[in-house]
Amino acid sequence: MCGIIGIISTKEVTSRIVNSLKKLEYRGYDSAGIATLNGGNINEVKCEGRVDTLEKNIQKFSLRGEIGIGHVRWATHGRPSKANAHPHSSEQVSVVHNGIIENSTILKKHLEKKGYLFKSQTDTEVIAHLVTDYLKKNSLKDTIIKVLKKLHGSFALGILFKDREDLIVGARRGSPLAVGYGPNENYLGSDSYALKSMTNKISYLEDGEFCIIKKQEIEFYESEGKKINKKILNLSQGAISYDKGDYKYFMEKEIDEQPFTIQDCINEYVDKYNREINIHNFPWKISSLKSLVLIGCGTAFHSCLVAKYWFEKNTNLDVTVDIASEFRYRKVNFKKDCLYLFVSQSGETADTYAALDLCKKNKMKTCAVVNVVESSIARVADLVLPIYCGQEVGVASTKAFLGQMLVLYILTTKIAYHQKYITKKDYQSKIKNLLSLSNSTKKTLSSENNLINIGKVFANAKGSMFLGRGYSYPIALEGALKLKELAYVHAEGYPAGEMKHGPLALIEEGMPVVVLAPRDEHYKKTISNMQEVIARGAKVLLITNKNNDEIISENIWEQIAVDKFDDELTPFLITIPLQKLAFYSALEKGYDIDKPRNLAKSVTVE
């Protein structure tokens, strides 16, 4: 969470810091701030709320400078307010911080005894005063080394020094931090997106490292202060632009982009002429794999749940799915013949990265499915499989979810054929279906339905349920999550067959319930479960496939029919109405669809 930008230049930097903060706002948007050095003084402007408000305040104060740092916040310590907004400054330094300082309370008490006064409720202000204290008896470099050793927890830091208008210090432990290179200027950023408008050349700090950024050079150090060299990378350019175009919301645009992002991903992995999947760079023998553990958080976890069904049906692997935040805190019995697969849109998800790091320390086989190929998770994993969906700005994931499922299905199919678990005929049939997926997605998106009015009912309901079996069960979980994220309506996803084991008690007259019943092997059983909730007064929205025969039930409130397609790939199609349902429900309530309350896009804290 939180976004950091720093620029040191021979030119004025304030407007560019603000523009970069606008691009970083998906990482946090409850408060924002900027600090510059000018005339030997630290000048600071902060506000509660969005970057647009910050920009207006900056214009009032005519903030200027050729060196500065900026921040957008997602609160961890202290409620959103101007006082708790970053940067946090002492008389000598100004600090922006992403992460959590776990021993901040102890450090604060120590500093208060020395006479330091605190203005905020944050853990970050401790860093500003701690740096100030160490500077009294140490050089700048030694101060940074000693301060970083004192801090427990995770952090990405950008630090300005009142008496040093020639440098910015950056440091990282846990939370990501990138450094950008420019002509007569250099940059610091919490991710590459904020730097792309200024440079395509970057380096990444690894855990424990810090840097001193000057106008003409950048020096990198490991934790003990030994100078190190860093590789300069060229940023990849996404196919989809950051601009909203004619859309009012990024999420709306990103939903509509899905046929194109699916096609882009398939083009990267599938040779349509030879009916072949182009994943040839496995760093281990597929025949050596006996089991698979899929690991993710939130929406990424749901993509893993769908993939479990695919892998179990098409391979002989023993498959487990784990939530990253639980995986790393259990006693894990690591297996040499197991592949540990990590899914993350940003590639910076803190819990997922920590689980990956644990596997690497135990010398396990690892694979990453990510959207950002320059990310921390991508740089650490043995094998990286990008989802190629371009930047996703809306906090509630849409096209990235379909991209994650798509890559996991492609990997499943490749391993299945490699294991000779499916025939060549089946393999090429699956590839043929993949090549048709984009078109079926487009048809589903363009289908006329009543989702605007349906969304109004869900938006004003006390609660709702989403039911499915087989492949549809994880999609039910994802649909419920989207409604919670965007419309702030209580929603639960359940296996349809589990309703009678407790949740049926929640059904009452008029309660909206989504039933996912594609015409697969579970269809008739799911319809029976649907009848059970209808009999208790629920208003059922049935999502199924287009077909000529009648639904075996009466009293269905609303029905949406997606394109008739291969059972294994139908999860892609039934996801789309659920995305739109959440979108229209939030629209009905007038909420900020791209930036739902309390959430941030890149979850870089535990």
Sheet holding 291-296, edge to edge: 318-323, 291-296, 338-344, 365-370, 383-386
Q: 16 with 196: CB under 8 angstroms?
A: no
Query: Quick one: pLDDT at residue 600?
Result: 66
Q: What is the mean pLDDT of the chain?
A: 91
| Residue 601 a catalytic site member | yes
Query: Quick one: pLDDT at residue 169?
Result: 97
Q: How confident is the model at residue 473 (pLDDT cuts 50, 70, 90)?
A: very high
CA angle 51, 57, 58 (to 5 degrees): 85
Query: Quick one: pLDDT at residue 603?
Result: 58
315 or 2, higher pLDDT: 315
pLDDT exceeds 70 at position 547? yes
pLDDT exceeds 50 at position 239? no
Instruction: Count the Cβ atoms, other than its own, within 10 Å of residue 162.
Output: 17
What the block records as the tokens of 477 is: 């979980």
pLDDT exceeds 60 at position 605? no
Question: Model confidence over 56-87: pLDDT tens digits?
Answer: 888 887 788 999 999 988 767 668 788 888 89
Query: Quick one: pLDDT at residue 602?
Result: 61
Report helix, strand or coil for 432.
helix
**Measured distance CA(479)–CA(471) in Å, rounded:** 13
> 32-46, 408-422, 539-553: which range is least confident on average?
539-553
What the chain holds in terms of domains, given with CATH numbers, is: 3-234 (3.60.20.10), 250-446 (3.40.50.10490), 451-589 (3.40.50.10490)
Q: 242 with 381: CB under 8 angstroms?
A: no
What is the average pLDDT across 420-444? 95
Percent of the chain with pLDDT over 90: 69
Question: Model confidence over 295-322: pLDDT tens digits?
Answer: 999 999 999 999 999 999 999 999 999 9
**Measured distance CA(413)–CA(518) in Å, rounded:** 22
Question: Model confidence over 310-361: pLDDT tens digits?
Answer: 999 999 999 999 999 999 888 899 999 999 999 999 898 889 999 999 999 9
Query: Quick one: pLDDT at residue 77?
Result: 67
Query: Quick one: pLDDT at residue 238?
Result: 47
Closest CA to 516 of 451, 573, 554, 566: 573
pLDDT exceeds 80 at position 17? yes
Parallel, antiparallel, or unpaired for β 276-277 and 270-271?
Answer: antiparallel
- Based on its alpha-carbon atoms, the radius of gyration of the chain, rounded to whole angstroms, reads 25
Residues with Cβ within 8 Å of 145's Cβ and at least 6 positions away in sequence, in order, are 210, 223, 224, 225
Query: Quick one: pLDDT at residue 242?
Result: 64
> 23-27, 165-169, 188-192, 582-586: which range is least confident on average?
23-27
Task: Write down the pTM of the prediction.
Answer: 0.81
- Residue by residue, DSSP assigns 18-45 as HHHHHHHGGG--SEEEEEEEETTEEEEE
E strands within 359-511? 365-370, 383-386, 464-468, 491-495
pLDDT exceeds 50 at position 555? yes
Burial of 284 (0-12, 13-18, 19+ CB in 10 A): middle
Backbone torsions φ then ψ of 61, nearest 5 degrees:
-95, -5
Backbone torsions φ then ψ of 368, nearest 5 degrees:
-120, 135
Give me the amino acid identity at 326: E
> 276-280, 317-321, 434-438: which range is least confident on average?
276-280
Active-site residue among 2, 47, 359, 367?
Answer: 2
**Measured distance CA(56)–CA(205) in Å, rounded:** 33
Percent of the chain with pLDDT over 70: 96
End-to-end CA distance of the chain: 10
pLDDT exceeds 90 at position 597? no
**Measured distance CA(214)–CA(67) in Å, rounded:** 10
Query: CA distances (Å), 372 to each of 114, 244, 420, in order?
Result: 44, 20, 32
**Measured distance CA(154)–CA(167) in Å, rounded:** 23
Q: 100 with 77: CB under 8 angstroms?
A: yes
Question: Model confidence over 244-265: pLDDT tens digits?
Answer: 888 999 999 999 999 999 999 9
Query: Quick one: pLDDT at residue 305?
Result: 98
What the block records as the tokens of 41 is: 């003084």
Parallel, antiparallel, or unpaired for β 201-204 and 185-189?
Answer: unpaired
